[in-house]
Amino acid sequence: MQTPAQPVPIAVVGAGAFGRNHLRVLHELPQAALIAAVEPDPARADEVARLYSIPVHPTLDAALAAHPSLQAAVVAVPTVHHCEVASQLLSAGIHCLVEKPLAATLAQADQMIALADRHGCILQPGHLERFNPAVLAMQQDLRGPMFFEAHRLSIFTPRSLDVDVVLDLMIHDLDVVLRFAASPVRELRAVGLPILSGKVDIANVRVEFDSGCVANFTASRVSTERVRKLRYFEPGRYVSIDYARRDALVIAVDPHFQLEAAMSAGAAENFVNGLPGLNFDKPTIAPGEPLRLELESFLHAVATGSQPAVTARQGRNALELALGIQQQMADHAQRTGLQP
């Protein structure tokens, strides 16, 4: 009989809006031994200590001193602090799941990757949508997508305002499309506008890849509706992923369909009930909470020493694209006099 792996002693650093989601899931996972949290805000710290019966330390120094058995940590502090917190953890030999985006700058990302390599630690960026069951399912069945349309719209909330909408929201789609397109970026066009936060709150981007594939991204955190969709076209097939519903619609062209024959055979009545020659399919997708799947995957990598499903290098690639977009938005603002 196989011996079950020991639960991984883990802590969450930053118990804000998203850190508390990590705490909730880790508390439930048998693969994790949630032993501590770090949170400087006393009210949040008290609430977490009460909910999960764990010590909550005001500083990372205090947590590291109190828990020499700590093996892994989730870093869920504001993005501008990812590097300083993760660097301290990695230097102490602690495996890290760092919330997205991996860091605020490429120099910071490089520093974190070098520390992870030096100390033999796993460094996984928190690209949660990679664990969306719809993304996992369609990733198994890619047929050379050539055109992507990504929409991520949300209603304004006063959170993650240390970064703009590209690093806050669009980064999810950048990471998924980089994975799906599997080709280097050749050209970028971008426009972004600050609306409420003083940083860019709405952005539209066109990326062309070396393969010729083109991707359009729209992200807004000042919308009146919530939309999280990725649509793409492959030869003979259209796929629409709804991240929120965690499902996909696949419309394939019947390879035997001939437009001229259909038109001459039945003219208009052939088209009354929708387009002939198209097969609609809703693939069966196993349900699952992306955050739970992400944490299970991270804990598996820690327990087995295997490469994480999303690597630090992929997190760096998404960040590099996001920073390139920011540069293009700044150039566009300057050219057009749209400076904030």
Burial of 289 per CB tally in 10 Å (0-12, 13-18, 19+): middle
Indicate the residue among 86 and 333 with the shorter CB distance to ligand NAD: 86
Indicate the residue among 20 and 333 with the shorter CB distance to ligand NAD: 20
Burial 294-325 (b: 16+ CB within 10 A, else e): bbbbbbebbbeeeebbbbbebbbbbbebbbbb
The pair phi, psi for residue 140, each rounded to 5°, is: -75, -10
How far apart are alpha carbons 145 and 174 in whole angstroms? Answer: 15
Torsion of CA 280, 283, 287, 289, to 10 degrees: -80
Tell me the closest approach of the beta carbon of residue 47 to ligand NAD, in angstroms. 11
Q: Which residues bind ligand NAD (CB under 6 A)?
A: 13-19, 38-41, 44, 60, 76-79, 81, 85, 99-100, 126, 128, 159-160
CB atoms within 10 A of CB 86: 30
Tell me the closest approach of the beta carbon of residue 262 to ligand NAD, in angstroms. 45
Tell me the closest approach of the beta carbon of residue 39 to ligand NAD, in angstroms. 5
Indicate the residue among 171 and 333 with the shorter CB distance to ligand NAD: 171
Burial of 259 per CB tally in 10 Å (0-12, 13-18, 19+): exposed
Show the tokens assigned to 184.
């280097």
Q: Which of 228, 272, 226, 278 is nearest to 253 (CA)?
A: 278
Tell me the closest approach of the beta carbon of residue 241 to ligand NAD, in angstroms. 16
Indicate the residue among 39 and 173 with the shorter CB distance to ligand NAD: 39
- Three-point CA angle 289, 102, 288, nearest 5°: 5
Indicate the residue among 176 and 213 with the shorter CB distance to ligand NAD: 176
Indicate the residue among 42 and 212 with the shorter CB distance to ligand NAD: 42
Indicate the residue among 31 and 124 with the shorter CB distance to ligand NAD: 124
Tell me the closest approach of the beta carbon of residue 181 to ligand NAD, in angstroms. 21
Peptide bond into 9 cis (omega under 30): no
Tell me the closest approach of the beta carbon of residue 157 to ligand NAD, in angstroms. 9
Indicate the residue among 36 and 185 with the shorter CB distance to ligand NAD: 36
When CB distances to ligand NAD are compared, the closest residue is: 16
Tell me the closest approach of the beta carbon of residue 80 to ligand NAD, in angstroms. 9
How far apart are alpha carbons 115 and 110 in whole angstroms? Answer: 9
Tell me the closest approach of the beta carbon of residue 124 to ligand NAD, in angstroms. 12
Contact in structure between 270 and 276 (CB atoms under 8 Å): yes
Rounded to whole angstroms, the maximal C-alpha distance in the chain is 80
